[in-house]
C-alpha cells in the first residue's frame, strides 16, 4: 500500500502493506493513539485504498475514487461522530449505521464507516456495533478511531485488527526500528560470510520469541538488505542462495511453521548447497 502520507509509524505501514499483498485488507480496524498520531490520516488513506480503482499500488491518489475520498466527498465513506458534550456515538447512531450498511455501495466496491471516539461508546452502543462486525455485509468496512483501544469491549477488539499509532518521531518507535535494522544487518552479515555454527547462533537469535507476523516483517527487510548486497558481494552465489532461502522461509512462516524451528533449517539450507 502507498501510505507515505502517514508520518512515522513504519510498523503499521508494513503490517498493512503485507496484509494487502497477502490475504487482503481486513473489514475492521481499530486505529488507536493520541491526537497527532495520524489516526485520521491513516483512516483516509485506508478508505481511499479500499475504494481506489487503480490497478497499481493503492491508494493511487490519482483516480476519481481516491480524489473523492481524500476531499471527503465520496458517497461510500461515512464519518460517524457523536453529538453532545462528550461527542459519544450513541446506540441509535449505531442502529442507523446498521441499516445504512445494508444498502449497497453507491459507486464503489465497498462502504467504509469511520467511527470517531469509538472507545467512548457505552456498552450498548458497542454491543450493537459488535453485531455489525460479526454479521455485517461483506462490502462494509469499519475504521474505529480511538484514543485507547482498551476502552473497547474485549469482544469488539477481538473482531478488529488493531493499528496502534504513535506521533512521528516517538523515541520508542524509532528505537524499535533501529533495533530491527541492526538485527537484519547482523543476520545479513552472517548469511554473507559466517561459518556454520556462527550462522546457526545468529539465526536462532533472529528467530527467537517472535510471532509469525513479526518474523515475516523481519524476513521482508532481510530480503531487501540481501538484495542490496548482491552487486558488490565477494561470493555472489552464496548471497543468491541466501535470498532464495529467505523466500522459502517466508512461505514456511505463512504456513505457520514455528519460527524457532526455522533457524536450523536455514543453516542446513545454506551449507548443504555450498
Ligand atoms: Zn486511486
- The model's pLDDT over 67-93, given as tens digits with 9 standing for 90+, comes to 999 989 999 999 999 887 778 999 999
How remote is the CA of residue 23 from the centroid of ligand 1, in Å? 20
**CA-CA distance, 146 to 74, in Å (whole number)?**
23
Q: If you measure from the C-alpha of residue 69 to the centroid of ligand 1, how many angstroms do you get, rounded to a whole number?
A: 9
14-18, 82-86, 130-134: range with lowest mean pLDDT: 82-86
Instruction: Identify which of 67, 19, 10, 18 has the alpha carbon closest to the alpha carbon of residue 42.
Output: 10
- Report the distance separating Cα 141 and Cα 265, nearest Å: 40
Q: Is the pLDDT of residue 263 over 90?
A: no
- Are 159 and 28 in contact by the 8 Å Cβ rule? The answer is yes
Residue 143 in grid coordinates: 475504521
> Using the 8-state DSSP alphabet, how is residue 60 labeled?
-
CATH superfamily of 10-164: P-loop containing nucleotide triphosphate hydrolases (3.40.50.300)
Helix (H) or strand (E) holding 186: helix 171-193
- Which residues are paired to 242 by β-bridges? none
Instruction: Give residue 84's pLDDT.
Output: 76
Distance 67 CA to ligand 1 centre (A): 7
Distances (CA, A) of 49 to 14, 138, 218: 15, 16, 24
Domain ranges of the chain: 10-164, 171-273
Q: What residues pack around ion ligand 1 (CB closer than 5 A)?
A: 52, 54, 59-60, 63, 66
Contact 202, 187 (CB under 8 A): yes
Q: What is the pLDDT of residue 209?
A: 64
Positive/negative CA dihedral, 54, 58, 61, 67 = positive
Distance 3 CA to ligand 1 centre (A): 12
Q: What is the pLDDT of residue 203?
A: 84
Task: Label residue 216 by pLDDT band (50, 70, 90).
Answer: confident
Condensed to tens digits (0 to 9), the pLDDT of residues 141-194 reads 999 999 999 999 999 999 999 999 998 765 566 667 778 888 899 999 999 988
- Reading the block at residue 111, the C-alpha cell is 462502504
The model's confidence at residue 259, banded by pLDDT at 50, 70 and 90, is low
Percent share of the chain, pLDDT over 90: 54
CA–centroid distance, 59 to ligand 1, in Å, is 5
The dihedral through the CA atoms of 251, 253, 257, 258 has a sign that is positive
> 56 C-alpha vs ligand 1 centroid, how far in Å?
9
Q: What is the mean pLDDT of the chain?
A: 88
CA of 202 to the centre of ligand 1 (A): 42
**Span from the CA of 167 to the centroid of ligand 1 (angstroms):** 26
Amino acid 171: pLDDT:
58
Amino acid at each position: 500500500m502507498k501510505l507515505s502520507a502517514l508520518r512515522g509509524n513504519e510498523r503499521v505501514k508494513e503490517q498493512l502493506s503485507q496484509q494487502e499483498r497477502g490475504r487482503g485488507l481486513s473489514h475492521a480496524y481499530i486505529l488507536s493513539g493520541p491526537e497527532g498520531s495520524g489516526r485520521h490520516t491513516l483512516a483516509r488513506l485506508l478508505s481511499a485504498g479500499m475504494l481506489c480503482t487503480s490497478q497499481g499500488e493503492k491508494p493511487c491518489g490519482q483516480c476519481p475514487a481516491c480524489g473523492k475520498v481524500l476531499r471527503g466527498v465520496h458517497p461510500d465513506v461515512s464519518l460517524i461522530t457523536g453529538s453532545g458534550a462528550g461527542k459519544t456515538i450513541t446506540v441509535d447512531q449505531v442502529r442507523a449505521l446498521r441499516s445504512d450498511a445494508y444498502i449497497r455501495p453507491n459507486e464503489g466496491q465497498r462502504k467504509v464507516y469511520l467511527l470517531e471516539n469509538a472507545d467512548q461508546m457505552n456498552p450498548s452502543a458497542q454491543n450493537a456495533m459488535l453485531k455489525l462486525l460479526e454479521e455485517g455485509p461483506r462490502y462494509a468496512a469499519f475504521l474505529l478511531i480511538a484514543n485507547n483501544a482498551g476502552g473497547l469491549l474485549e469482544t469488539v477488539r477481538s473482531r478488529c485488527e488493531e493499528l496502534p499509532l504513535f506521533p512521528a518521531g516517538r523515541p520508542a518507535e524509532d528505537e524499535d526500528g533501529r533495533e530491527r535494522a541492526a538485527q537484519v544487518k547482523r543476520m545479513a552479515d552472517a548469511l554473507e560470510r559466517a561459518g556454520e555454527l556462527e550462522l546457526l547462533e545468529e539465526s536462532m537469535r533472529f528467530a527467537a520469541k517472535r510471532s509469525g507476523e513479526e518474523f515475516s516483517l523481519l524476513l521482508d527487510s532481510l530480503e531487501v538488505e540481501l538484495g542490496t548486497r548482491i552487486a558488490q558481494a565477494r561470493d555472489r552465489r552464496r548471497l543468491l542462495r541466501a535470498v532464495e532461502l529467505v523466500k522459502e522461509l517466508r512461505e514456511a512462516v505463512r504456513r505457520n511453521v514455528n519460527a524457532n524451528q526455522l533457524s536450523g533449517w536455514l543453516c542446513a539450507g545454506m551449507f548443504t548447497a555450498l
